[in-house]
DNA sequence: CTCTTTATTTTGACAATCAAACAAACTACC
DNA sequence: GGTAGTTTGTTTGATTGTCAAAATAAAGAG
């Protein structure tokens, strides 16, 4: 791909990321749970139960930070620590029923946003977009 | 678009956002400036000089938070407050030469990432992707 | 069995954030 | 003009999020 095209793609990605990021901030403000907490639920909902280390990696934070975050979420009964079956050093962090409910609520907002911003795409464009995103996610 | 396809698109977007977000966190950790600060420079570099309110909106934070952030950036001489020409309540927040330099440095990392994750896209796919992103950015 | 590596927690210090209250400047309407 | 209401940015006080480094505990290697 030409330098110029990559540059254009880069711009568009950054702008898209910025907008999504601002949207997340605003959606979460004045709610009962913070962005960091909702984001944690979001990742758990998306990827399923994860170990501390895996979860921290997906969130881009250290395990130290995550420990206190999970403490809070566990106290609020949104999440529970399940002892790992074969590694006694580890837990699986798992959404509780309530946590999963909250995740679904937040996800519904995402879905509404996705509907809104994809409205002007044609069927084929949307198709290609999904396949591009999947490829990119795989190459991260 | 079918419910199912929108849902698939939603999933892909969320996953893409999560990955990018974790990447940003990791790129910035152990550097001289925090994610919030780099993000501010990034937005200023992308959109040019902005007023406090506009900048806060693009960042998804309140103007109160931004005031202290801009104070720090101004102290580090990455940014300066230019009095607004027609509204004496306002400033334009503008990257200094050093600030712009730092923005370019960070942007280069983004570009490298974009190259990496777009490697397996065909020329046409990339073309469509850019046009999709642009449309979506416009409809946010 | 000892040493090293890995997973998680704890700690102490600092940074980011918000909501609410404020001051200054703008706008619109009489 | 003058005044009432709005907008813009700052300050304040409290809370939350974050990291690096050190501690703990288990797993794995030799």
Contact B21 A21 (CB under 8 A): yes
Contact B9 A114 (CB under 8 A): yes
Whether the predicted pLDDT of A94 surpasses 90: yes
Residue B1: the pLDDT is: 86
What is each CA distance from A131 to A38, B31, B121, B126, in whole angstroms? 27, 34, 9, 11
d(CA B133, CA B20): 15
| Domains parsed from chain B with CATH numbers | 31-116 (1.10.10.10)
Beta bridge partner(s), residue A95: A79
Q: Give, for B8, the enclosing helix (H) or strand (E).
A: helix B3-28
Query: What band does A30 get if pLDDT is binned at 50, 70 and 90?
Result: confident
Strands (E), B25-90: 50-51, 79-83
Whether the predicted pLDDT of A12 surpasses 90: yes
- A108 and chain B in contact, CB less than 8 A: no
- Structural tokens at position A29: 């403000």
- B99 and chain A in contact, CB less than 8 A: no
Whether the predicted pLDDT of B30 surpasses 90: no
Mean pLDDT of chain B: 96
Contact B63, B56 (CB under 8 A): yes
What are the pLDDT digits (tens) for B92-128? 999 999 999 999 999 999 999 999 999 999 999 999 9
Contact B133, B127 (CB under 8 A): no
């Amino acid at each position: 791909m030409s330098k110029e095209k990559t540059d254009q793609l880069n711009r568009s990605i950054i702008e898209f990321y910025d907008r999504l990021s601002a949207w997340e901030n605003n959606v979460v403000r004045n709610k009962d749970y913070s962005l960091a907490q909702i984001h944690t639920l979001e990742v758990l909902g998306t990827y399923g139960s994860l170990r501390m280390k895996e979860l921290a990696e997906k969130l881009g934070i250290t395990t130290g930070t995550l420990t206190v975050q999970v403490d809070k979420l566990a106290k609020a009964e949104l999440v529970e620590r399940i002892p790992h079956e074969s590694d006694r050093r580890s837990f699986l962090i798992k959404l509780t029923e309530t946590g999963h409910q909250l995740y679904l609520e937040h996800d519904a907002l995402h879905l509404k946003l996705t509907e809104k911003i994809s409205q002007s795409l044609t069927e084929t464009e949307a198709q290609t977009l999904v396949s591009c995103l999947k490829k990119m996610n795989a190459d991260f």
